[in-house]
Structure 1
Amino acid sequence: MRRAFTSAVVTLTLALALSLSGCGTESRGVAPTDVAPSGAIKPRAISWLLSRPADGPVITTMRALAEEYAASHPGFKLNLISTPDRPSYIQKYETLAAAGKLPELFDTDATPFAQKLAHHGRMMDVAKLLRNLGLYDHYRPAALDYQRFDDGSLYMVPLQYEAEFFWYNKALLRRAGVSVPTSLDDFPAMCRALRSAGITPIALDGQDLWPLERYAAYQPFRVTGPSYVRQLKNGEARFSEPAGRKSAEWLSALGKAGCFQKGFSSVGYADAQNLFASGRAAVYNTGTWDLPGLATTALDTKTRDDVDFFTLPLTRGSVTAENEYVTSSGIGMAVNSRTYDPLVRDFLKFALTRYPARYAAAGVLAPTTDAKTVVPDNATPLYARAVATANDVGQKIAVPWDTQLDPTTNTKFQQNLVLLAQGDVSPASFISTMDTVIRRNAPRYSR
């Protein structure tokens, strides 16, 4: 999804800017560990650079809390600098970072780029900050772990918690004479049976590319845990290794079995969801963010009673457990050390203390364990069951690969995954191409 050339140029610009300036905190601001700076709280406008739905619960909740804080702190205001389109957001974020002009708060995944910022003292140590505020132990371990860098350090505040399931139509599976797959290796046979019954097996948002990338991550996660992609992104592993080969061969098998709808690469998010919700596709892989559309009376009455879900199946030789799959806390919120002061700390204490309960009241899963999700009145029984399932997860996380791979590799990976699933390239050709891309780009980006 990212614009590879722009990201590469900006990354080089940032490296140069940091090498010239030395430490990112020498001119102003505080050290990343100075989470409780002394001094008076002087209200002013602060800004948050973000990439989230404008009407989503994260922004709605934080905006309301900022208004409450402003009522008792005249002169305070939280300005939201929003760019919903993720590729455009990343370009803006990296450009501002290179120029040293990031605002007080900014969204970022735990990417190598963000780790460079942290290494140069440009982000506050969130683990120390949350402990100082007395909030650290309230967070779900999975929510915090999703935001960590590979060395275990934590520089982003989680504001969400999501679990990803496979939603399926029981009536369509019965018509095809197939059961819920108990292994990832059962998917091709399930798809062939559904195709034979005239049913589209899997609805996929192919236009956005990352949903197909999820499928590519499943086999490696089951047979190696999260270690493979961490090694891959640093150039320490290859696609030609068993985990990568298994992924490529499985994606190719899914394509040959006709698992995805025809023309999937041009189908967007809303159309893919509607394909499943209307009963025209049997399976749909998505997260708890879609509960309002899949587990409430908003779902079409023709399919409502037939919808259920299952979690990521195991596979032969799995080293991860049934309750370990993709659980994310979304893009994290980083705190700029150059603009951190008593006001920013005080606002964060006010907001983060109240945020979980207010957020969970909107029917979503909070990033902390002490905020109970308020199930909406129009929910079907699946809603509460999905919430309960998401609350009982293991320790290993299947991280999305688009937040791990360097921009150039990720772009090539996504493009070639489409070709692989369409049958335009063989697994062997795919593996050879990606090993070349990784060898050229990963080590340079991870330095």
Structure 2
Amino acid sequence: MKSRRRRFVPLVAVFGAGALLLTACGPAGGGSGAASGTFTYLGQTENTTIIGTLNALAKDQCAAEEKAAPLTADKSAGPQFDQKLQLLAGQDALSNMSMAAGTPSLMQQFIDADQVVDLSAELDKLGVADKILPAAESTIKALYGEDTLYSLPTEFNIEGFWYNKAILADNGIEAPATWDDLVEAAATLDGAGVQPFSAAGKDGWPITRLVGDYIARDLGPDALRAVADGDAKLTDPEYVKAADAVAALGEAGYFGEAIGSIDYNAAINEFLTGKSAFFYMGSWALANFNDEAQNTIGADNIGFAPFPDVEGGKGSIDQVPANVGVPVMFAQKDFGDDQAAWLKCIVSNYGDAVLNESGVVSGFALDNPPADLPETTQIVQQQIQDAPSSILWFEALFTSKGTSVSQTNGGGLASGSISGADFMKLVQAANDEG
């Protein structure tokens, strides 16, 4: 069930939405509103994958839909995209299909104003509801705090611990199923002179991901929603426990030396050159794993372990940490038979098309996956297919300031320079300020 009571407004976009209210917008100028007899799409200039896949579908599986309502595309630069959506929504001129608002709170405004299609109901009518994978559907619903679907997962990224199979085998270690197993494995590796974890301490967010995952495993998948709704605080002892657990890894030196200077690329390089055993990261890193120039340990030497269970916790190891990358929404205005036909065709064919054309894993079920998928991609695809539900990342429901403070101080947990309690105090204060 969706919650309307929020202490602070979620803001996780990489670009700002502006401060314009939907009911107070003037004419947008150069709008991308739906036109009669066409199927309009608005995307970000920087994202060519979605429109490229749509164009490929228009020439093949969706040729009939293209003939009835030709695809007409428009674009707007990423940094201004949410503001563009606000302006178009203000004059009720959203495109038939567009990239969804990057800011969950803005998307919530569209939902509350009945400007976007209830896709759960529509996909049921069209008979293709089963083409959305459960984990992807769960992620979208959790992101917007809704019990129905309002966007589609053109991407789906899962997160977990990638590991070097040879290093673990050489040290008699199996993929960890519990947090205690993970800590024990790290101690064994450290004792053998092997760096247990690679992580981008300079960026901070890969460390904070561990805090959020621990909370979900220990307190349950809705624990961070309770914080967003004001029913709990990050400074509550049961939440601090998670940050303390991650800080303990840092205090033990398990992330290596000078972790605060290691950025994203350096962390990937450490893992792919065999300098560490574990690497917590999302499946977007598959491009690096499958690049022989970067990966000197070999793609077939990389295994995947879901974030482990916490003993006695209310969460489950099969609730996969995930995000939907770039979801798309459909405008309620001018949504008729032609638009419904496009929706059905996209949902039925997009997953296979984008995987074949661009190597992108989506949240759609597949009918004809490529036979030559790399092993790491197959692992991700299987994990996504099998996962019954998902959990959001640590900062997903934070304010922009809360997100910034969290990620700025995340590296301190990995270096042991900040305690879990102090970290949570800083982040909670930033969220309270808004």
The answer to whether TM tops 0.5 is yes
Q: Identify if the C-alpha distance between structure 1 residues 202 and 117 changes in structure 2 by more than 3 Å, giving closer, same or farther.
A: same
Q: Identify if the C-alpha distance between structure 1 residues 204 and 334 changes in structure 2 by more than 3 Å, giving closer, same or farther.
A: same
8 A contact 1:103–1:339 mirrored in 2: no
Q: Identify if the C-alpha distance between structure 1 residues 109 and 135 changes in structure 2 by more than 3 Å, giving closer, same or farther.
A: farther
**2:86 maps to 1:93:** no
Q: Identify if the C-alpha distance between structure 1 residues 59 and 258 changes in structure 2 by more than 3 Å, giving closer, same or farther.
A: farther
8 A contact 1:169–1:283 mirrored in 2: yes
What is the alpha-carbon distance in structure 1 between the residues aligned to residue 104 and residue 282 of structure 2? 21
Alpha-carbon distance, 1:207 to partner: 5.0
What is the alpha-carbon distance in structure 2 between the residues aligned to residue 212 and residue 339 of structure 1? 45
* AA in 2 matched with 1:65: L
Aligned to 1:368: 364
CA RMSD of aligned residues (A): 3.6
Moved more, 97-106 or 164-173: 97-106
Alpha-carbon distance, 1:393 to partner: 1.8
8 A contact 1:127–1:155 mirrored in 2: yes
Q: Identify if the C-alpha distance between structure 1 residues 391 and 106 changes in structure 2 by more than 3 Å, giving closer, same or farther.
A: closer
8 A contact 2:186–2:196 mirrored in 1: yes
Aligned to 1:65: 57
Aligned to 1:326, the other structure's residue is in SS state strand
What is the alpha-carbon distance in structure 2 between the residues aligned to residue 52 and residue 254 of structure 1? 38
What is the alpha-carbon distance in structure 2 between the residues aligned to residue 5 and residue 289 of structure 1? 17
Aligned to 1:35: none
What is the alpha-carbon distance in structure 1 between the residues aligned to residue 273 and residue 150 of structure 2? 42
Aligned to 2:129: 136
* AA in 1 matched with 2:83: T
**2:167 maps to 1:172:** yes
* AA in 1 matched with 2:388: G
What is the alpha-carbon distance in structure 1 between the residues aligned to residue 228 and residue 371 of structure 2? 39
Alignment match of 2:347 (pick from 343, 348, 352): 352
Alpha-carbon distance, 1:338 to partner: 4.9
Aligned to 1:99, the other structure's residue is in SS state helix
Alignment match of 1:407 (pick from 393, 400, 404): 400
What is the alpha-carbon distance in structure 2 between the residues aligned to residue 219 and residue 227 of structure 1? 12
Q: Identify if the C-alpha distance between structure 1 residues 296 and 424 changes in structure 2 by more than 3 Å, giving closer, same or farther.
A: closer
What is the alpha-carbon distance in structure 1 between the residues aligned to residue 388 and residue 336 of structure 2? 37
Q: Identify if the C-alpha distance between structure 1 residues 323 and 74 changes in structure 2 by more than 3 Å, giving closer, same or farther.
A: closer
Alpha-carbon distance, 1:156 to partner: 0.8
Deviations 1:140-197 (CA, angstroms, capped at 9, x unpaired): 2222121113231321112233333311113333555655333223444543443444
What is the alpha-carbon distance in structure 2 between the residues aligned to residue 156 and residue 41 of structure 1? 23
Aligned-pair identity (%): 22
Aligned to 2:304, the other structure's residue is in SS state strand
**2:270 maps to 1:275:** yes
Aligned to 1:36: none
Alignment match of 2:113 (pick from 108, 120, 131): 120
Alignment match of 2:239 (pick from 241, 244, 263): 244
Alpha-carbon distance, 1:279 to partner: 1.0
8 A contact 1:360–1:371 mirrored in 2: no
Deviations 1:401-425 (CA, angstroms, capped at 9, x unpaired): 3332222222222222223333332
8 A contact 1:204–1:260 mirrored in 2: yes
Aligned to 2:5: none
Aligned to 1:34: none
Alignment match of 1:50 (pick from 25, 30, 44): 44
Aligned to 1:445: none
Q: Identify if the C-alpha distance between structure 1 residues 304 and 99 changes in structure 2 by more than 3 Å, giving closer, same or farther.
A: closer
Moved more, 305-314 or 64-73: 64-73
**2:89 maps to 1:108:** no
Aligned to 2:386, the other structure's residue is in SS state coil
Q: Identify if the C-alpha distance between structure 1 residues 390 and 51 changes in structure 2 by more than 3 Å, giving closer, same or farther.
A: farther
What is the alpha-carbon distance in structure 1 between the residues aligned to residue 362 and residue 175 of structure 2? 29
* AA in 2 matched with 1:411: S
8 A contact 1:110–1:147 mirrored in 2: no
What is the alpha-carbon distance in structure 2 between the residues aligned to residue 332 and residue 4 of structure 1? 12
8 A contact 2:164–2:278 mirrored in 1: yes
Residue correspondences, number: 407
Alignment match of 2:210 (pick from 212, 215, 218): 215
Moved more, 351-360 or 169-178: 169-178
Aligned to 2:370, the other structure's residue is in SS state coil
**2:227 maps to 1:232:** yes
